[in-house]
Amino acid sequence: MSNYRVGDELAPMVAGEVTRELITAYSQVSMDPNPMHTDEELAKAMGYPTVYAQGMLGMAMLARHLGQVAGMGKLHRIKCRFKTMTWPGETITCRAKVTAVEEKDGKQLVTVEIHTENQDGEPKVLGEAVFAV
Amino acid sequence: MPKRELIGKETEATTVTINPESNKAFAKVVGELDPLYHDEAAARAAGYANVLAPPTYPIAFMAESMNPELFFELELNLPSIVHGEQEFLYFQPIVTGVELTMKGRIADMWEKTGRSGTLDFVVMEAEASDQQGKPVYTSRITLISKRASE
């Protein structure tokens, strides 16, 4: 049995700096064709200060965080909303807070509110996830 | 304007086999370094046919689960589309190198009008199952399209 209780904050994970190289690499491996992540001139022409990171890159970081916390293969569900853009040079931390703990089919299911934030604590990707203990 | 009558419309089933090498490249970029994502021997020792895919990897072959004709039938304003939300439900580990059967459908559609115009929200769902027909995962992607001024 675990000691998860509603209101607990799980140990955060510093995912690190989101560099242009990381954004470009993520576009390649995720088959994301959107040039706003890779084409600096186009991003500026569209009114953005520079290229921005994929929302899914933030979601991948959140999923990795939960894998570290709960272990491989324990994730039942993850849902994310891409609230604001993540910019090159920002350092991202993943956070999770327990909102529900329930028993189901002999397993304990933990629901967490999750988000990524930059070095100033500004939230970027928000969501909810459920993992088994 | 997007066609509400398309809600519930299903695509023909397609099949996808995740390439273990592409999967490893993805896992490395997103910092998933567990041997089960990278090392065939470790995956087999743990009882899997091949290395596992990280939880969000299915986004890389999302397009293959959706019939492009159905997508274009939606009549969204393509250059304006943003990925608003993403949800995955997992029923068993996602194993690379084995065939998955994908069924897509338009799960929901609604609109919101504000000061800057009308936004169309479309939820596309894809269900992946294994060769025994058992569910592997479900993906729900919410796209937001800004309607061109009329």
CATH code of B135's domain? 3.10.129.10
Domain span at B91: 4-146
Show the domains of chain A with their CATH numbers: 13-18+54-132 (3.10.129.10)
Predicted model pTM: 0.94
- Our measurement of the distance from residue B16's CA atom to the centroid of its chain's CA atoms, rounded to an integer in Å, reads 11
How many independent structural domains does chain B possess? Answer: 1
| Residue range B41-53, pLDDT digits in tens | 999 999 999 999 9
Cβ-Cβ contacts under 8 Å, A25 against chain B: 29
Cβ of A63 under 8 Å from any chain B Cβ? yes
ipTM of the complex: 0.95
Quote the longest CA-to-CA distance of chain A.
55
Encoded amino acid at B96, one letter: T
CA distances from B70 to A46, A68, B66, B144 (A): 28, 38, 7, 16
At B150 the pLDDT is 58
Cβ of B25 under 8 Å from any chain A Cβ? yes
Q: Report the alpha-carbon distance of residue B55 to residue A125 in Å, rounded.
A: 16
Whether A2 contacts A71, CB under 8 Å: no
Average pLDDT, integer, range B106-122: 93
pLDDT in tens, chain A (133 residues): 468 999 999 999 999 999 999 999 999 999 988 899 999 999 999 899 999 999 999 999 999 999 999 988 899 999 999 999 999 999 999 999 999 999 988 889 999 999 999 999 999 999 999 999 9
